[in-house]
Amino acid sequence: MSFFRITLHRSSIGLPERTRGVLNALGLRRRGRTVFHPVSPQFAGMIFKVKELVRVEEVEKALTKQELKASRTPDPGFYVEKARTRVDMGAGRQT
């Protein structure tokens, strides 16, 4: 099953209520928001209504919110190779 990956690229400010309704129905409430919807005629029609505002890709798998964030986060670029010995200073303090 494939999905549409839809990203709102242009803001809906100043657009007719009907267009905003379509964007809301797609789940695109702010610019840059990405949503995934299954490929079906209903969603294709909705995308067609707002085709000037969104960027659409067809993907094989829908990403979860966490996966989407992970794909945008750069790699930390380091890891602790040799940690100094941690001394536990009392029960209340976490090292």
Partner 1 sequence: MSRALFRSSLPELGSFSAARLRPTAAVLPFSWTTTTTRSFNSTAPIVEPVSSNNAPNPTASQVRPLALKKSHPAAPPSPIADSVKNLLPFLAAQPGHYITVHIHGFPYLVQEGDQIRLPFRMPGVLPGDVLRLNRASVIGSRDYTMKGSPHIDERVFECRATVLGVESEPLRIKIKKKRRQRRKRQAKSKHRYTILRVSELNIKNLEEAAAE
- Can residue 89 be called a binding residue for partner 1 (CB under 8 A)? no
Closest CA to 35 of 1, 62, 2, 71: 62
**From 84, 88, 89, 93, residue interacting with partner 1 (rule: CB under 8 A):** 84
Closest CA to 6 of 29, 70, 72: 29
Determine the interface stretch with partner 1 among 8-16, 25-33, 45-53, 81-89 (rule: CB under 8 A): 81-89
**From 41, 74, 90, 92, residue interacting with partner 1 (rule: CB under 8 A):** 74
Characterize 22-50 residue by residue with b for buried, 16 or more Cβ atoms within 10 angstroms of its Cβ, and e for exposed: bbeebebeeeeebbbbeeeeebeebbebb
**From 82, 88, 90, 92, residue interacting with partner 1 (rule: CB under 8 A):** 82
Residues at the site binding partner 1, with contacts judged by CB under 8 A = 73-84, 86, 95
